[in-house]
Each structure stands twice: as C-alpha cells, then as structure tokens.
Structure 1
Amino acid sequence: MARLEYMDVYFSVQAFQEEDLRGKSAVIIDVLRAASSMVTALNNGARKIIPVGAMEDAVRIAQTMDAKDYLLCGEQNGNTIEGFHLGNSPLEYTKEVVADKTLIINTTNGTKAIKKASLANKIYVGCFLNQQSILEGLKEHDDDVVLICSGWQGKMSLEDTLFAGSVIYEMCEGKLPENTKDGVKIAFSLYEKYKENLEQSIGTSDHAIRLKELVPDGDIPFVCQKNKFDVLPTMKDGILINFNG
C-alpha cells in the first residue's frame, strides 16, 4: 500500500510542475465532472478514452478516425462544446451511447491535469464513484503517490479536496498519523468535517454554484455516490483504459 507519510495532495493543476511527478504515481481527481464522466463511460462499455488538453487536439485526432468509432466529448467553462457529441454530465454517458466507442475528451480542468501528469509512473483517474477501485489500486504501490485535485482554473475546489480526503481517511481508517504532509492533513480534516453531508456540501460548493444553470439536476447526487463502479481508469500510452475491465 502507498505510504501516507510519503503521499501528497496538490489542490489545483497550477499547484505542481511536470517534474514534480517524476518517479511518483498520480490520481487525477475531478469530481465535477470529468473524472465522474470518464469512470461512468468506462463502466458502460466505452472502449477507451483519449484525454486532450485543447479542443483543437480533439478535432485533429477525430479526423484520423472512422466517424462511427468515436465520440467527441467535453466542455468549456461548463458548456458543451459546439459540434461535440456529448458534454460533461456523467448521466449522458449511458451504455446505449458509449458502448464500444472511443471517447475523445477535452475539459476545462480535468483533462489538463491528466496531460500535465504525463511524467508520473502511473496515472489513475478517481472520484467517489470508483473510490474502492482507487484504494485497491494504491495497495499495489510502493512508490510515492500524489492526489491531484483538478480544481477550477488554478483555484482549489471543495469537491475534489473532499475526495482526496476520503481516500486518505479510508487508507488510515480515520486515524491520521502525525508524520504526514500538510496537504494530506488539510484534505483529511476537510473530509472529516463534511463527510456526513457530502451531497449537501458539494452542492453548495463554489464550483457547483458556478455550474448551477448548466448542470443537470441529477449530476450532484450521482457523483456523490461511493463505490458505484468497479472501474480503475489507467493511462497507457496516452489512452485511458479500465485496468479492472
């Protein structure tokens, strides 16, 4: 199991440099909503996911593929990108829509965090929906692990920090050792404070309020469900696949 004394938490994409991850493994967190959508898509039979850092990259990759094999997905500032097949609500990623498809995804925060983590030994994508799978995956690690909260345009987000804290809380069974890094202490403490009211806390977070007019009513309750899917999205050669699939 990854050791808590060597674990760290970054609270936004801007909180780390690419070199900071060399020799470490990373869990990319974007509860609202990229990670939740990717986990749901892989659970519902998507063949693979190609995360990209810019819309132009998504379109360029799509032009090399057969139109029946892929879906362009994602958002910009919460809005579905014009001309894309799907937005960023996990409720859109049903089995009927995504099964056997390659998803090319660009989002404001989550996919940028994935791309920036490219030097990590291993990259996972995590959220409440696949928390147990993340915990099981981390049991296999003896390298340092960093939990990367995608945040919002360089700022900390409550929902991502709460998920990081939840992972830490489960790893130490609610008893945090003293010899942990400050980021771990902060995430653990926030989760300990809000864990009994996750849905309400996330629903009143800055990001949820910012997206209120754009997010379907069911998204917040959906993304707050723990351990709904046995899915471990893992990067391999720039592509996300389900390691548990």
Structure 2
Amino acid sequence: MEARTFDLPRYLSVLPLFTDLNRPELERLALGCQLRRLSRGDTVFRVGEACEEFHVTVTGQVKLYALSPAGQEKVIELVGPGNSFAEALMFTGKPYIVNAQALTDTLLLTVKKEAVVGEIERDPRFAMRMLAGISRRLHGLVHDVEAYALHSGMQRVIGYLLRDQVVEDCATGEVVIVSLPVSKATIASRLSLTPEYFSRVLHELESAGLVRIDKRDVHILDPKSLADYPGR
C-alpha cells in the first residue's frame, strides 16, 4: 500500500470514531492527519515526549511497552491494524507515559489534536464518540489487570488463544488457526509471563492433543476441550 495513493478520508470513514462524519468533514479531518511508513524496530514515540496526537495502526503491529529501572521490558499492549492508541493521553496535555515501537513494517496514521478538537467544537456528538472509544479501551485494560491478578498463567494463554476474534469460529467445533502476530517472547510479555513458561504451556496443550504448533500458527484442534481444559 503506497501512502501517496492512500484514500485517507475513505479510510477514516471506516474507523469507529469517524463513521458518522460526512465526506466534507472527513476531508477536513484528513488535513490534520499524517501517514508514516515505519520499518521494523522504528520508534513511534518515547516516554517523556510531548503527546499532541493519537495514532492508528493501518497495517503492521505496534508495541506499547514500559522499561524498568533495570532495563527489563514489559509489553503493555499490541496494537494491530484498525486500532488506535494514545487518544486519551492526548487530551491531558501530559507527555507520553509509555514507549511505542513498530514490531513489523508498519503504516501508521497520526491524527493531530487540533484536528480532533476542531471537530468536537463543530459537533459535540463527536466528543461522545471519542469518549466511547476511550471507554472501550479502558475496559480492555481493566480486563487485562483482572486477568493478571486472578488467572493462572495457563488461563491467560488459553484466554489469549480463544480471544474474541475466534469465539464464533470456536463455537462450530471446527479446527481454528490462530496466527501469532509477533514473536512468542513478545506475547509472553504481554501476558506477564516468561517466554519459557509460555512455551511450556503451548507444549503441554500440544501434548494433550488440544493444539498443534506450526511455527507461528497455533491450530486449535478441539476448541471446546481447550476452553474446558483443567489447567484453566
């Protein structure tokens, strides 16, 4: 996908935040947007930098992460295509509190604060859509904290494999293939697990005949039995 031929207003129209905007409004908003093509490993932003925009992953994967004083990395979130990040922080006037890095070659859409504020001033309903989006994101983060505090490592891995986007497929009882979007080490960090433990869990599930591992593809052979696995 070439950035110079990218239909930005049309892309904005399919994002939940902007679906109710008409073409002139989308074209006006697009003037406050920028497309950035990132290579794997490129930095999107760092802790302490000014936050005057939010971002949408168009293609690729972006990692939000924090570093401990000892240099240990904790992945906060993995942001895939069609998902946004930093929209809440943008309104606080505070700098970024986490780091963001492209995990793969990525096309990133940056939406300037001034453009968003302009639309809010023109139509207060736009503010309600922003709040709804931010609330969904907060709900997801609260769910993650709950999982880390109350669920075992096995439960977290199975929950990741049976996450929302494959629930309908799992209900049919057919084999479901989950492609890990990034390295196992990165996913392990996202789940607050060590890479070694994450690999052990996958091997245990494979030995139990519930999944089959093929590089980054996890074939869920029996979704219902996986959901009911005693280790959960």
Structure with more relative contact order (C-alpha pairs < 8 Å, separation 6 or more):
1
Higher radius of gyration, 1 or 2: 2
The structure whose residues are more often strand, as a share, is 2
Give the TM-score normalised by structure 1. Answer: 0.25
